[in-house]
Every structure is written in structure tokens, then in C-alpha cells.
Amino acid sequence: MSSNLVIITGDFKSRLAIPFITGGIKAGFPSPAQDYMSDSLDFNHDIIRHPESTFYARVKGDSMIDAGICDGDIVVVDRSIEAVHGDIIVAYIDGEFTIKYLDLAHKEDGYILLVPANKHYEPIKLFVSDPLVIWGVVAWTIKKRPGNNTQELP
């Protein structure tokens, strides 16, 4: 399997209000952000729509790198969303979790594909008789940007 996930539990009952810049952040000329901090974002309320069916998973591997999902990222997976063609899903096959695009274009031909977003990996072809559990649909990706650490600049 080209990608694995590590399941992480979340505490969705608590509130976690973080200041939120409502006017957006410009990628051009800087503006004083403090003037725009008039709201807050609560991950447990604003990001998690269905707490009883949501879980986090840490991505291991690079099979979805061209979709912007990289090794070490955290995905927020909602099990209450019905997976449709083109969704990024978490599937359980052969005793492992994997994250891939769901391709239902060949369903009438008797198979589906789990498609990686990395040209170095082949799609996984699954027939009706193959065991597959779709654990949920990826609703969000949480990334740690490169360089976000305590190292000094060169």
C-alpha cells in the first residue's frame, strides 16, 4: 500500500476560540492585522460539522502529494458524508488505511478505482467481490508549512 494513516482522536466537546482575521490576509502589501481581529474561529464548531462521525488522521506517505496532501499532514475525515466520484476518501483495504481519490467511472463495468495523486503510484483497482470499507471523506487538511520551527534563518 502506498499510503497509510494514523488515526487521532479529537475532543470535540471543548471550545477552542482562536482569533480570526475577518478581512483576510493580503499576499501583497502588508496591513495591520490587529485592526481586523474582530471574530474568532473555533475548530470544534466551525470546522467539525459532525463531531460524532469525525476523526483526524495523520498522513504517512506521498501518494497524494499532487493533491496537496503530504506526509505528516493531518486530515479531518467525516464519516457522515456519502462518498461520491472524485472525493478524496479514507479507505480500509487489506488491513490498512489508505487515502485516495474515489473513481466510480467504471462502476457499471464491475470495478472502481482508488487513484493516487502522484504519478509514481498506480491506481488500485477493486472489483465488487473485493473487500473495501470507505471510512469517510476528507473534509479538511491541516498542514505544517515548511520552516515553521525554531531553527534560525541561514
Q: Tell me which residue range forms the domain holding 64.
A: 3-12+34-142
pLDDT band at 154 (very low <50, low <70, confident <90, very high): very low
Q: Is 125 a catalytic residue?
A: no
Active-site option among 2, 14, 100, 107: 100
> How many domains is the chain partitioned into structurally?
1
Q: State residue 56's pLDDT score.
A: 84
User: Is 25 part of a structural domain of the chain?
Assistant: no
Assigned C-alpha cell, 2:
502506498
Q: pTM value? A: 0.72
The CATH number covering residue 77 comes to 2.10.109.10
Backbone angles phi, psi at 58, to 5 degrees: -90, 130
Q: What is the pLDDT of residues 99-137, one digit of tens each?
A: 999 999 999 999 999 999 999 999 999 998 899 899 999
Distances (CA, A) of 30 to 33, 49, 60, 66, 139: 8, 33, 36, 30, 31
Confidence class for position 52, pLDDT limits 50, 70, 90: confident
| Given 3, 31, 63, 125, the catalytic residue | 63
